[in-house]
């Protein structure tokens, strides 16, 4: 039996040419079980934002490709959507786009007694994220970050 990661990788390979054709960006693909149902989700974006029509175009084309390849044994629901305003930072361009902006971070383990913080993104590497708070500059290990996204609370 294939893993969720393998399904996500195969789906990414199928959806990328569709997105390239329309000038869309792939933000993420996930295969998850929620409330007893499997969901295959593709999150897409473009400058100015994604519309429902954009999602429909990608969903129809991806559904056809998934039917042709038929590599997922279980029943699942296909969803194509915008990542929304609270999209997580995952790719280098997500981090680049948010340098100098406030971000919300949740940590697995507390740092300086804090597990959640809002701070300005200063820099990042493959292993760390550096942020500036009112008090100091902190370098956080990425493996300790459970969630990181642009902040909209000011």
Q: Indicate if 37 and 59 belong to the same structural domain.
A: yes
pLDDT the model gives residue 87? 81
Mean residue pLDDT across the chain? 93
The answer on pLDDT for 2 being more than 70 is yes
The answer on pLDDT for 1 being more than 70 is no
Taking residues 8-37, report their average pLDDT: 95
Q: Indicate if 63 and 102 belong to the same structural domain.
A: no
The answer on pLDDT for 29 being more than 60 is yes
Residue 131 lies in a domain: yes
Compute the distance between CA of residue 96 and CA of residue 83 in angstroms, rounded to an integer: 17
CATH value at residue 110: 2.30.30.100
Q: Indicate if 112 and 77 belong to the same structural domain.
A: no
**Which H/E stretch holds residue 7?**
helix 4-22
CATH value at residue 28: 3.30.300.70
Strand, coil or helix: what is 139? strand
pLDDT the model gives residue 135? 84
Q: Indicate if 75 and 99 belong to the same structural domain.
A: no
Q: State the total domains in the chain.
A: 2
Compute the distance between CA of residue 9 and CA of residue 3 in angstroms, rounded to an integer: 10
Q: Indicate if 65 and 40 belong to the same structural domain.
A: yes
Compute the distance between CA of residue 4 and CA of residue 34 in angstroms, rounded to an integer: 13
pLDDT the model gives residue 93? 85
Residue-wise pLDDT tens digits, 68-100: 999 999 999 999 999 887 788 988 988 998 999
Q: Indicate if 121 and 73 belong to the same structural domain.
A: no
Domain boundary among 81, 109, 135: 81
Strand, coil or helix: what is 4? helix
Interior/surface letters 64-73, b for 16+ CB within 10 angstroms, e for the rest:
ebbeeeeebe
Structural domain for 59, as ranges = 4-81
Q: Indicate if 101 and 38 belong to the same structural domain.
A: no
What are the backbone dihedrals phi and psi of residue 57, each rounded to the nearest 5 degrees, phi first?
A: -60, -50
Query: Which one is predicted more confidently, 152 or 45?
Result: 45
Q: Indicate if 19 and 73 belong to the same structural domain.
A: yes
């Amino acid at each position: 039996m294939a893993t969720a990661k393998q399904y996500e990788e195969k789906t990414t390979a199928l959806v990328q040419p569709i997105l390239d054709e329309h000038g869309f960006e792939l933000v993420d693909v996930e295969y998850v079980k929620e409330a007893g149902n499997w969901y295959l989700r593709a999150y897409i974006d473009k400058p100015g934002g994604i519309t429902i029509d954009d999602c429909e175009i990608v969903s129809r084309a991806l559904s056809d490709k998934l039917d042709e390849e038929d590599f997922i044994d279980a029943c699942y629901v296909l969803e194509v959507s915008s990542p929304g305003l609270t999209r997580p930072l995952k790719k280098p361009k997500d981090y680049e786009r948010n340098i100098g902006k406030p971000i919300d971070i949740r940590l697995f383990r507390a740092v300086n007694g804090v597990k959640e913080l809002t701070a300005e993104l200063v820099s990042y590497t493959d292993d760390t994220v550096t942020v500036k708070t009112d008090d100091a500059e902190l370098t956080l290990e990425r493996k300790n970050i459970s969630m990181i996204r642009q902040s909209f609370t000011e």
